[in-house]
Structure 1
Amino acid sequence: MLRVKIVCTIGPSSTDPDTLAQLIDAGMNVARINMSHGDHDFHARNIHAIREIAQERNRPVAILVDLQGPKLRVGVMQPGGVPLTAGEELILTTEDIIGEPGRVPIQNKEVPSSIERGRLDTQAQAAGEAQERILLDDGLLELEVIDASETTVRTRVIVGGILEDRKGMNLPQTRLTVPSMTEKDRVDVDFALEHQADWIALSFVRTAADVHALRKVVQSRAPMGRATPIISKIEKPEAVDNIEEIVQASDGLMVARGDLGIETSPEAVPMIQKMIIARCIDTDKPVITATQMLESMIRNPRPTRAEASDVANAVLDGSDAIMLSGETAAGIYPVESVQTMANIAQEAERVRSVTRPHYRPSQQALDGFFGAPATGSEKEPDSNAKDALSVAEAVSQATVDTARNVGAAAIIAPTARGATAKKLARFRPSVPIIAVTPSHLVYRQLALYWGVFPLMGQRMNTIDEMLEDAVRIALRAGFVQQGDVTVVTGGVVGGVPGETNLMTVRRIARVLMHGQGVGNRRMSGRVVRLRPGQDPQAQEIQRRMMTTQDILVAEELNQVSMELVYHAGGLITAESAPDSIAALAAVELGIPAILQAAGEWDELVDGQTIVIDARTGNVYEWDL
């Protein structure tokens, strides 16, 4: 089972229901709906198909709606594109024209004025600094700004090539004044909420204010203020500068390395990636590493060795999820791309150290990189000097430590809103986190978190019922087996979400017998075994010694032995009729009973302690 999750972008190559099913089977945990391409009808059909197929397969698959944001693009070019030659001048204009040699349109009307203001503010030419650059088509084409007005930018081509329709444009040295959300984004948010998206990703985030603005829109337009969680995409230098406030304001982050590498520099991206992942782990926020992970598989059936290393390193860095973009949206090998990514990730996780599960930069490196004062020595900080943990964090950390120390097969976390599972994921346990929730929304949202395997459960009335139900569901799903040791954790503070404050170690008891339960109770007690043909005098001795803490075990019952039932606290019998004397007596006395019992009769001996559960019809061996 992969701990890291796989995000797949859905596009023309992956909309066929058979392909979607294969993507899920290959390991897709999150389906990314890219609002930069396609219309609402196209995306609605895909969301419906994904949900339907995931339900058929009993698999949690989250829907991530990725807003386009204020992406800068050129307009439409002449047929065949516009050739750019190094050394020639090129005018960028806000006029609605068809691009031609020497003059091409740009879609955003504020670009020329933003460049003009930036040049006046910095007085770059007077200071003798390098000319301002404009990068086109993911940085493949480069322009140098000569001057700018309110509607045009005059540039010189530094790196030439063919400029095609609607290619992206980056201005790494210009601080744009455009809002983080466009009118299109607002319409797309309504679409996301209407279709109950599990996550919404905000593009080109610069400050926490951008995140707050989207959250305000979501809360005002969502049914009953449904708080759809927000993932902030880090792809601007300003976002790196303001990473602390953005992490705090967001529900998760995406390291969008495409635009980030253009806006900063390729050599800066690896360390930015590692630092952001470390910050997210520290704050219980899921983090997605994205862009060009298996780029060559858009056309080729196998990845390059560098791409394989990139995927493995993202896993070792501690990413919650790794993402495929064009590989699954528009590539020739969408399913093979997911299978390849899963295989690489599995190998990376296989060699992962249990005591040091992911690369962790030193605190000095973290502080120095993000601009905070770096103090102290180069060595790792003393773990005893860390800030005090909250109760929920301390219990979660203790749960992970206990699971390792007792050799647990899994951590089982019943959770209403997912907070317990999220806290556990922060500590990257070496065993699966089985999150049992009654909420379909939480069930899907948790599909993004590292090491969390969500299962659907029911709301329970008591703490014991909640814990027992979670263990039973994990057992039925095959995550744990009879005899396995598990650590169960959850929150028992009424009405306070996220207050994880309970931990217990449980061994999953072996089922000795199974039958039809009568009554809605569970009890443990001492076996009093009544065997066929037993001497009446022996039965009388049993009757005198029997208490309501005892469980009468009798394959057959007659009128004489029925007297023992009225002194017992529970009953196990092979009788099958629901209107039998035994069944009626159990109902009358309010004791749990197992009728039509079948199984290991010989293992039930006098004095043995067992557990009977009338709700499931099971008889378990007693486990301290």
Structure 2
Amino acid sequence: MKRTKIVATLGPATENKETLEKLVRAGLNVVRLNMSHGTYEEHRKKIELVREVEESTGIKIPVLVDLCGPKIRIGKIENEPLFLHRGDTIILTPEKEHEKGEIFVNYPYLDREVKIGETILLADGAFRLKVKDVKEKKVICEVVVGGPLTSHKGVNLPHSNLSIPALTEKDIEDVKFAVKEGADIIALSFVRKAADIIKLKNLLEELSAKNIPVVSKIEKPEAVENIDEILEVTDFLMVARGDLGVELPIEKVPVIQKTLIKKANRKGKAVITATQMLKSMVDMPIPTRAEVTDIANAVLDGTDALMLSEETAVGKYPLKVIETMANVIKEAEKIYPFKRYEDIKPDSLQDSLAKAACELAKSGNIKAIIAFTRTGATALAVAKFRPKVPVFAVTHDIKTGRKLNLVWGVDSCLTTPVESTEKLIAVSIHAVKERGIAKIGDKVIVLAGAPTGVPGTTNLVKIVEVK
């Protein structure tokens, strides 16, 4: 059983029941919906499909709704493509009604917030402009790296301090949709500081959905600088290498990835590594050696999950992509650096009990750690210390069971609420026997709390023999 999870984006290549069932059985753990594309009706049908497949496979599948965030773009280019040559002068403007030859940018404060000498990037960094002058509603730029420019390409302002909110009006409507349709996880794009996450969490609380975890996507230089404050308030993290590699020198991305994963590991926050994991397999049935090595290195860095985008949304070989990623994960995990997690210090009593359970699991015939959890916190605490045995989360909350499918090494089991710890243990022992994790005579470690069903009361570590 692989411990590192796979997140895959649903799209035209995969939005049918037969294909999605195959992906889930091959190792897909989390389904991502990209709110940058598609209508609410299309996304609603995708969520219904996921629930159908969850029912038919018996495997819990969390739905991750990925918000667009404040993506700045140019407008329509007349008579496209517009060929930009090195040394050319072009004018960017936030005015929709503008003079011929100027290029509209959908950011109203463009002329107020960029400064002379700063760099502006277009089309994911393919075009590079240098700001030569700024006038009212006009930013005059020199082309440093050009080419054929087409409509609606993205704009990055890596050196500018932007006042644009991380949560846009569209995002707010998308969050309302996600809550209404029962999404399990929400990812916030272009996070810059802790306040961005708090704003989303406040919105979720207003919608009576404060238990939906938030993934903070790290794709801005400010977010890298503010990572410690972000980790204090976020539930999960995503290393979004696409925009990171545009806004920062691309050679810095590998070290940033390792740093972010290490920090998330130490805080016990699940982390996803994303972008171009198997991009060549959009069109080809086999990956490049570099992609395979990239997957293995992310696993060994300590990522909880790896994310696929166009590979499964529009690619020709979605099943082969999942199978390839799952196989590479399993190979990499044969040399997993478990010792690296031994020096992580517990931050709470719950952490201390979780670490004690992981230490106990090293000795004797221990087959699994069973964590009784209402909110998922106990299972997350165990996963933080990366035990060598499987972590089995037992919960009566389907939303908790689903979200834990994003977390390294955690499998979950849904039960009906019971009134005593003894009955919970009996139910969970039956479940691990059914899953083939343990057999009669094996031992498991149980993490529980009394009274049962009350969040934050984990106070018991017990070795139990399977009977």
Q: When the two structures are superposed, what TM-score results if normalisation uses the length of structure 1?
A: 0.72
Residues 457 and 473, structure 1, Cα contact 8 Å, conserved in 2 = no
The correspondence of residues 49-60 of structure 1 with structure 2, limited to 5 A, is 49-60=49-60
Give the equivalent residue in structure 2 for 1:323: 307
Aligned equivalent of 1:114: 113
Q: Tell me the amino acid that sits aligned with residue 190 of structure 2.
A: F
In the alignment, which of 112, 115, 122 is matched to residue 136 of structure 1? 122
Correspondence for 1:196 among 158, 182, 187: 182
Q: Look up the SS of the partner of 2:73 in the other structure.
A: coil
Q: 1:498 pairs with 452, 456, 459, which one?
A: 456
1:565-576 pair list within 5 angstroms: none
Runs of 4+ in 1 over 6 A off after TM superposition: 97-100
| Partner in structure 1 of residue 149 of structure 2 | 163
Structure 1 residue 472 and structure 2 residue 458: aligned? no
Matches within 5 A, 1:68-467: 68-78=68-78, 80-96=80-96, 102-115=101-114, 119=115, 131-222=117-208, 225-356=209-340, 383=343, 389-467=347-425
Shift of 1:18: 2.1
Residue 356 of structure 1: how far off its partner (Å): 3.7
Letter in structure 1 aligned against 2:411: F
Higher Cα Rg, which structure = 1
Q: In the aligned structure 2, how far is the partner of 1:52 from the partner of 1:444?
A: 14
Write the distance in 1 (CA, Å) between the matches of 2:57 and 2:35: 27
Alpha-carbon distance, 1:103 to partner: 2.9
SS at match of 1:31: strand
Aligned position for 1:6: 6
Structure 1 counterpart of 2:33: 33
Contact kept, 8 Å, 2:192 with 2:220, in 1: the verdict is yes
Over residues 401-445 of structure 1, what are the superposed CA-to-partner deviations in whole Å (9 max), with x where a residue is unaligned? 111112311111222221211110001111110111111111111
Contact kept in structure 1, 2:264 and 2:270, CA below 8 Å: yes
Give the aligned partner of residue 560 of structure 1.
none
Range with bigger deviation, 18-27 or 463-472: 18-27
Question: 1:86 is matched by which residue type in structure 2?
Answer: R
Aligned to 2:19: 19
Return the offset for 1:65. Answer: 0.6
Cα drift, residue 4 of structure 1 = 0.5
SS in 1 for 2:411: strand
Distance 2:460 2:19 in 1: 43
Kindly state the Cα deviation for residue 500 of structure 1 after the two structures are TM-superposed.
Answer: 2.2
SS of 1:409's equivalent in the other structure is strand
Q: Distance in 2 between matches of 1:272 and 1:227?
A: 29
SS at match of 2:366: coil
Percent identity reads 43
Give the equivalent residue in structure 1 for 2:67: 67
Give the aligned residue type for 1:475. K
Structure 2 vs 1, CA of residues 68 and 418 (structure 1 numbering), >3 Å: closer, same or farther?
same
What pairs with 1:584-623 in structure 2 (closer than 5 Å)?
A: none
CA gap of 1:140–1:241, structure 2 versus 1, over 3 A, is: same
Distance 2:48 2:98 in 1: 38
User: 1:340 & 1:135 partners in 2: Cα distance?
Assistant: 34
Question: Is 243-252 or 344-353 further displaced after alignment?
Answer: 344-353
**Structure 2-normalised TM-score?**
0.96
Count of residue correspondences: 467
Runs (5+) with no aligned partner, structure 2? none
Alpha-carbon deviation of 1:76?
A: 2.0
Structure 1 unmatched runs, 5+: 125-130, 361-382, 510-624
Give the alignment partner of residue 465 of structure 2, picking from 474, 493, 507.
507
Shift in CA distance, 434/388, structure 1 to aligned 2, threshold 3 Å: closer
